[in-house]
Structure 1
Amino acid sequence: MLQAVIWLADMADFDEMNDVWDAWVPEGAAPTRACGEAKLADANLRVEIIVTAAVAE
């Protein structure tokens, strides 16, 4: 992973999202990351993540 952009429906979820993120991303392998608040496409969604990745050849 090269970059992740995280959109939260409510920034009050930021700490909880960080806990999940830290458990998911291997230590030392976290990409550049940005996080913001946005009205998401579906009211049932709490988070959307856009990931840019590449495969080494």
Structure 2
Amino acid sequence: MAELTYVDAVQKLEAGDSFTLQDMKNLSYADLDKLFEELKYWKVYGNINTKINAIKRG
């Protein structure tokens, strides 16, 4: 199984897919931290797509 990265996880969420706790276990600590920060941002502001698009642009 290929290791899940932060970008893969965000793209899965954006597409409406999910990932397992095992997938989350395979994330590096840095990627897991970024993912949790992304989820908190989405929860507060309700629009994950704005930040995802900024990430994709670099």
TM-score higher than 0.5 here?
no
> 1 or 2, which has the higher helix percentage?
2
Between Structure 1 and Structure 2, the one with more strand by share is: 1
TM-score (norm 1): 0.27
Greater length-normalized contact order (CA 8 Å, ≥ 6 residues apart) = 1
Normalised TM-score (structure 2): 0.26
Larger radius of gyration: 1
